[in-house]
Amino acid sequence: MPPATTVDGIRVIAPVFTIVDLAAHLDKGELTRALNEADRLTIVDPDELASLVESLRNRRGIRGLRSLLCDYTRTDSDLERQFLALVKRAGLPRPRTQAELHGFRVDFYWPGLKLVVETDGLTYHRTPSQQAADRRRDQILTAAGLRCVRFTNAQVRQESDEVAETLRQLGKQA
């Protein structure tokens, strides 16, 4: 039984144990989203979770959670998770995600390639003012010596072969 505390008369367990419990009931995509959200909110440290998972044996869902943690990279959306699969397919190394560069948070960054990739979903990149801010960010990062490439939601989801090939080519230009 996981350690618990009581808050307002309600028994509460630590969030890392909640993720372990969820592993027995969620599919890989749902579990990935739960872990990403807990990581984003800083209520679960993936390294702490990995240590806990290593100490648990023969518990339903642990094998899948262990596998998920081996390849875990924090992302903020399903689009970004889908993009990471294309990165792997293209043979590029795993990028830093949600990296801070020159005052901006970027989706994907490869320091050795001096490459920044943004995946533009419809939520944050559809208005003219948002698109103008994206262009300005790209200009600042380019002036700092980085290559900035953007892929749209439609490209990642519907033109995955072309995106993977573009990534392969970008990887060769280092």
What's 146's domain CATH number?
A: 3.40.960.10
Give yes or no: residues 163 and 93 share one domain.
yes
Q: Could you list the residue range(s) of the whole structural domain that residue 168 is in?
A: 78-172
Residues 59 and 120 in one domain: no
Which region among 8-12, 30-34, 55-59 has the lowest average model confidence (pLDDT)? 55-59
What is the model's pLDDT at position 124?
61
Q: Of 54, 70, 86, which residue constitutes the final position of a domain?
A: 70
Cα separation, 149 vs 43, in Å, equals: 32
What is the per-residue pLDDT for 35? 86
Please tell me the total number of residues recorded for the chain in this structure: 174
* Half-sphere exposure (Cβ direction) of 43: Cα atoms closer than 13 Å: 13
Mean pLDDT score across all residues of the chain = 87
Whether 84 and 53 share a structural domain: no
Q: How far apart (Å, rounded) are the C-alpha atoms in residues 16 and 18?
A: 5
**pTM for the model:** 0.66
Instruction: Please tell me the distance from the alpha carbon of residue 11 to that of residue 13, in angstroms, as a whole number.
Output: 7
The rounded percent of the chain whose pLDDT value lies above 70 is 93
- The three-point CA angle 38-163-27 to 5° equals 35
Q: Are residues 61 and 42 in the same domain?
A: yes
User: What φ, ψ does residue 116 adopt, rounded to 5°?
Assistant: -120, 130
Q: Which of 48-57, 75-84, 103-112 has the highest mean pLDDT?
A: 103-112
12-26, 39-53, 131-145: lowest mean pLDDT where? 39-53
Instruction: Give the Cα separation of 14 and 2 in Å (integer).
Output: 8
Boundary residue ending a domain (33, 54, 70): 70
What pLDDT, on the 0 to 100 scale, is given for residue 166? 94
**Three state DSSP letters for the chain:** CCCEEEECCEEEECHHHHHHHHHCCCCHHHHHHHHHHHHHCCCCCHHHHHHHHHHCCCCCCHHHHHHHHHCCCCCCCHHHHHHHHHHHHHCCCCCEEEEEECCEEEEEEEHHHCEEEEEECCCCCCCHHHHHHHHHHHHHHHHCCCEEEEEEHHHHHHCHHHHHHHHHHHHHCC
Residue 87: closest CA among 113, 108, 114: 108
pLDDT digits (tens, 9 = 90+) for 107-156: 899 999 999 999 987 666 567 888 888 899 999 999 999 999 999 889 99
Domain count, the chain: 2
